[in-house]
Chains A and B, each alone.
Chain A
Amino acid sequence: MRKSLLLAGLAAFAFSHSASAQTLNVATAGDQNMVDYIKDYLGPLFEKSHPGVKVVAVGTGPGDGGSQKIYEKLDAQKKANATSVDFDVIVIHQKAAGTLVKEELIEKYRDKLSTAKLVTRDTATNSLGTDVGGYVMPMFHSQTALAYNPDLVKAPPASYAELRDWVKKNPKQFGYNGIKGGMSGVAFVTGWVSAFGGDATKLESGPYDAAAKATWDKAMGDLKEFNQSVVITPGNAGTLDMLNRGEIAVGPVWVDMFYTWKAEGKLPPSMRLKLISPGMPGQPMYYAIPKKAPQDKLAAEFIALATSPEVQAEGIVKRFNWYPGIDAQNLEGKLDQAAWNQLFSDITPKDLASNGKAFPIGPYFNDILETYEKKVAN
Chain B
Amino acid sequence: MTRPSFFGLLLIAPALAMIGALFLYPLGFSLAAAFTDGSGNPTLAHFAKAYELYSTDILFTLFIVVTATILTGVVSIAIAGILTLGETPWLVAILRNLYRWPLFIPFIVAAQCMRTFLAKNGLMNNSLVAMGIMEPIQATSLLDWRGIIITFVWKQVPFVTLMVAGAMASVDRSTIEAGRNLGASRPRVLIELVLPQVAQTLLVGLVLSFVTMLSVLSVPMMVAGSQPTMLTVDMAFRINSYGDYATANALGVISYAISGIAAWIYLRHNVKREVQA
Q: Which residues of A contact B (CB under 8 A)?
A: 61, 63-65, 68, 71-72, 177-181, 185, 227, 231-235, 238, 241-242, 245-247, 366, 369-370, 373-374, 376-378
**Pairs A–B under 8 Å by Cβ, sample size 15:** A61-B240, A63-B241, A65-B241, A177-B226, A180-B233, A181-B225, A181-B226, A231-B225, A232-B227, A234-B226, A242-B120, A247-B121, A366-B242, A369-B241, A374-B53
A246 CA to B122 CA in the complex, in Å?
Answer: 11
Chain B contacts with A in 142-187, Cβ cutoff 8 A: 143
Closest to B220 in A: A234
For A227, what are the chain B residues with a Cβ–Cβ distance below 8 Å?
227
Q: A63-B241, A64-B241, A65-B241 are in contact. Are A377 and B228 (CB under 8 A)?
A: yes
Measured between C-beta atoms, what is the minimum distance from B150 to chain A in Å?
14
Do A68 and B56 touch across chains, with their CB atoms under 8 A apart? no
Q: Is the CB of B240 within 8 A of A64?
A: yes
B residues contacting A by CB (< 8 A) are 52-57, 115-116, 119-122, 141, 143, 221-229, 233-234, 236-237, 239-243
CB contacts (< 8 Å) of A374 on chain B: these are 52-53
Complex CA gap A180/B225 in Å reads 9
Report A-chain residues with C-beta under 8 Å of the C-beta of B119.
241-242, 245, 247
Min Cβ gap A69→B in Å is 8
Which residues in A have their C-beta under 8 angstroms from that of B242?
366, 369
Smallest distance from the beta carbon of B59 to chain A beta carbons, Å?
10
Knowing A63-B240, A65-B241, the reply to whether A238 touches B225 (Cβ < 8 A) is yes
**Shortest CB distance B250–A (Å):** 14
Are B115 and A180 interface neighbours, CB within 8 A? no
Give every chain B residue within 8 A of A64 (Cβ-Cβ).
240-241
> What chain B residues lie within 8 Å of A61 (beta carbons)?
240
* Complex contact B243–A378 (CB within 8 A): no
Q: Which of B115, B121, B226, B241 contacts A246 (CB 8 A)?
A: B121
Given A68-B240, A247-B120, A366-B242, A233:B53 Cβ within 8 A: no
B251 to chain A, nearest CB (A): 12
Given contacts A63-B241, A242-B119, A378-B54, contact A180 B229 (CB under 8 A): yes
